[in-house]
Chain A
């Protein structure tokens, strides 16, 4: 069948209907871009939501039994953590406290929510990049480390830390009379979709600032003894704690957090809806051009049927046309997305880097979109009836 490969009818027909084809290419490019942006924001949301989880300095994490996300965690009774420490295979345990108080911009006085973590400075539950040299200094009361990658909404905190005179006010309600704490250093973590930045303090300073007793940490972070088997120890710890707490590996915790953002929050649904809209828009554009080409060539297809071209030949031609449109339109969509990702990353501080696997996923979705379009358009081929050619 020369018309499939050597003299490809699909590309020749697309070239012949150039105006419709260019229209479809533009439409599908926009749809591809839309899908890339939704995918990019979704991945940025997930990556930012688990940044802290990835740097937890342990192997197993204990959380309250109904734990779903750090943003809504209510705290684990501390006795569970100590009980876990006695399980064979557990070498050490440390605690992590978290809350979302307001930080006042030292320049404007406006208060914005920030992620606050409290750690034991001698056994830190998290160890973000750049923090190591200052962690022990957090043991001094009223001292804090500030995330260098925080958004600018908190004012010139980073600049003031560099010049050695940064003081900020942190309190649960943005109280202007809240005690002042001194920012003694910086670390690198990055903001999330919901929080513009992060502050790290000692557990005692955490207690002073938030006023919450230290008997309900967010996580107990367990380090395993050398040679201990992760699964076995996890089962043993879960057995010791019963149904009162949830024991997770780091990977399970990350999956749980992503699942929360994906399924339990409006933004997760909105981003998925956006992906679906992009798919639908692209599908309509591809279908339109296929439908137009079929309508203009029904008698010619009928002639080919009379000389022995089987029905599947026309379906293959449709798939080829759809795939050519999808593949060509993918390229400008990809390039534009790269540019917009870079802009969005600069503006939001979120990790919008495009990974090969994400681009491959979008390409697979585009191919699926083209397949569905071709299948829908193929129904019109029934009109290519040789008898209709007679006067």
Chain B
């Protein structure tokens, strides 16, 4: 059987904030691989560099040292056009849902789908409805986000992220502000739908209750990354 494609590859990746003299190094010679269909957790104490790594992989920051390849694009040398193209295949879920309150649930999700000749408006709408159905929100599609619970809002955010079938889903503390049950449903949604779509999911989290949804866990501390068990801290 063929090995899943490596979607993210980092080698000797380092990053520091500020100048060489007065700045602070947050990532030191990081090496990691993430493959298609994998659900990977990124854990570590606050300030350990989880978010920095997430934003580097998401091409929201420019790498400073080492190599970082995401979906085959070398982020150290990529042109703005290559980055724009790359970002079309990466989606994010944040700690807050960040849904537009003036739009319905369905409109929030379809807003993140491009209208192209091959994916028209009607097709997009159908796709968004299916995705919301997968996430147990079919009865809520015409509601405004403010009428939904926190967990439901976060699942809409997951639907919004996954509806375009991205190759890579990056989530930053997606369950931090949810109760246990809602957090579990959100994590299950990301892992199940992510696997179905063959999408690599990287979740930065402190939430041990969702560890079991992952295939692997990477722990980052003092700028150094190491593989850890998904069963314990």
User: Residues of A at under 8 Å CB distance from B?
Assistant: 1-3, 6-7, 9, 12-13, 15-17, 297, 299-300, 302-304, 306-308, 386-387, 389-391
B172 to chain A: closest residue by CB: A390
B111 touches A389 (CB 8 A): no
B92 to chain A: closest residue by CB: A306
B4 nearest CB across to chain A (Å): 25
B168 nearest CB across to chain A (Å): 12
User: Cβ of B54: which chain A residues have Cβ within 8 Å of it?
Assistant: 390
B61 touches A3 (CB 8 A): no
Are A304 and B111 also in contact (CB < 8 A) when A2-B121, A390-B172, A391-B173 are? yes
Rounded to whole angstroms, the CA-CA distance of A13 and B99 in the bound complex is 12
Are A389 and B102 also in contact (CB < 8 A) when A306-B87, A307-B112 are? no
Q: Can you pick out 9 interface pairs between chain A and chain B where the beta carbons lie within 8 Å of each other?
A: A2-B110, A2-B115, A7-B107, A9-B103, A12-B103, A303-B98, A386-B92, A387-B61, A390-B51
User: Cβ of A297: which chain B residues have Cβ within 8 Å of it?
Assistant: 100
Residue B216 is within 8 A (CB to CB) of chain A in the complex: no
Residue B136 is within 8 A (CB to CB) of chain A in the complex: no
A140 nearest CB across to chain B (Å): 79
A389 touches B121 (CB 8 A): no
A391 touches B172 (CB 8 A): yes
B1 nearest CB across to chain A (Å): 34
A24 nearest CB across to chain B (Å): 16
User: Cβ of B164: which chain A residues have Cβ within 8 Å of it?
Assistant: 307
> Which residues in window 48-87 of B have CB below 8 A to A?
51, 54-55, 58, 60-61, 84, 87
Q: How large is the interface on B (under 10, 10 to 19, 20 to 34, 35 or more residues)?
A: 20 to 34
Chain A CB within 10 A, most for which of B55, B92, B102, B112:
B102
User: Cβ of A6: which chain B residues have Cβ within 8 Å of it?
Assistant: 121
Rounded to whole angstroms, the CA-CA distance of A212 and B51 in the bound complex is 93
User: Cβ of A387: which chain B residues have Cβ within 8 Å of it?
Assistant: 55, 60-61
Residue B88 is within 8 A (CB to CB) of chain A in the complex: yes
A389 touches B94 (CB 8 A): yes
Rounded to whole angstroms, the CA-CA distance of A389 and B204 in the bound complex is 14
A266 nearest CB across to chain B (Å): 48
User: Residues of B at under 8 Å CB distance from A?
Assistant: 51, 54-55, 58, 60-61, 84, 87-88, 91-92, 94-96, 98-103, 107, 110-112, 114-115, 121, 164, 172-173, 176
A16 touches B101 (CB 8 A): yes
Rounded to whole angstroms, the CA-CA distance of A163 and B168 in the bound complex is 96
User: Cβ of A17: which chain B residues have Cβ within 8 Å of it?
Assistant: 102
B56 nearest CB across to chain A (Å): 11
Question: 6 tightest A-B contacts by CB?
Answer: A16-B102, A12-B102, A299-B98, A13-B102, A391-B95, A390-B51
B175 nearest CB across to chain A (Å): 12
B62 nearest CB across to chain A (Å): 12
Task: Give the interface SS of chain A, mostly helix, strand, loop or mixed.
Answer: helix
User: Cβ of A306: which chain B residues have Cβ within 8 Å of it?
Assistant: 58, 60, 87, 91-92
User: Cβ of A3: which chain B residues have Cβ within 8 Å of it?
Assistant: 111
Rounded to whole angstroms, the CA-CA distance of A390 and B88 in the bound complex is 19
B99 touches A308 (CB 8 A): no
A14 to chain B: closest residue by CB: B102
B103 touches A389 (CB 8 A): no
Rounded to whole angstroms, the CA-CA distance of A7 and B115 in the bound complex is 13
User: Cβ of B55: which chain A residues have Cβ within 8 Å of it?
Assistant: 387, 390
Query: Given A297-B100, A308-B87, A391-B172, 7 other A-B contacts at CB below 8 A?
Result: A13-B102, A304-B111, A307-B91, A308-B88, A308-B114, A389-B92, A390-B54
B92 touches A9 (CB 8 A): no
Rounded to whole angstroms, the CA-CA distance of A308 and B61 in the bound complex is 16
Chain A CB within 10 A, most for which of B54, B60, B84:
B60
B106 to chain A: closest residue by CB: A7
Which of A7, A302, A308, A391 lies in contact with B98, CB distance below 8 A? A302
Rounded to whole angstroms, the CA-CA distance of A389 and B170 in the bound complex is 12
User: Cβ of A1: which chain B residues have Cβ within 8 Å of it?
Assistant: 115
User: Cβ of A302: which chain B residues have Cβ within 8 Å of it?
Assistant: 98
B51 touches A391 (CB 8 A): yes
Rounded to whole angstroms, the CA-CA distance of A390 and B172 in the bound complex is 6
Rounded to whole angstroms, the CA-CA distance of A111 and B96 in the bound complex is 77
Rounded to whole angstroms, the CA-CA distance of A58 and B95 in the bound complex is 81
A307 to chain B: closest residue by CB: B112
A13 to chain B: closest residue by CB: B102
B94 to chain A: closest residue by CB: A389
Rounded to whole angstroms, the CA-CA distance of A303 and B90 in the bound complex is 12
Rounded to whole angstroms, the CA-CA distance of A228 and B55 in the bound complex is 82
B91 to chain A: closest residue by CB: A307
User: Cβ of A389: which chain B residues have Cβ within 8 Å of it?
Assistant: 92, 94, 96, 98, 172
User: Cβ of B60: which chain A residues have Cβ within 8 Å of it?
Assistant: 306, 386-387
Chain A CB within 10 A, most for which of B87, B94, B110, B114:
B94
Rounded to whole angstroms, the CA-CA distance of A303 and B55 in the bound complex is 13
Chain A CB within 10 A, most for which of B61, B101, B164, B173:
B101
Which of A2, A15, A300, A307 lies in contact with B100, CB distance below 8 A? A300
Rounded to whole angstroms, the CA-CA distance of A7 and B103 in the bound complex is 9
Chain B CB within 10 A, most for which of A2, A387, A390:
A390
Rounded to whole angstroms, the CA-CA distance of A6 and B102 in the bound complex is 14
Rounded to whole angstroms, the CA-CA distance of A308 and B113 in the bound complex is 10
A3 to chain B: closest residue by CB: B111
User: Cβ of B92: which chain A residues have Cβ within 8 Å of it?
Assistant: 303, 306, 386, 389
B44 nearest CB across to chain A (Å): 13
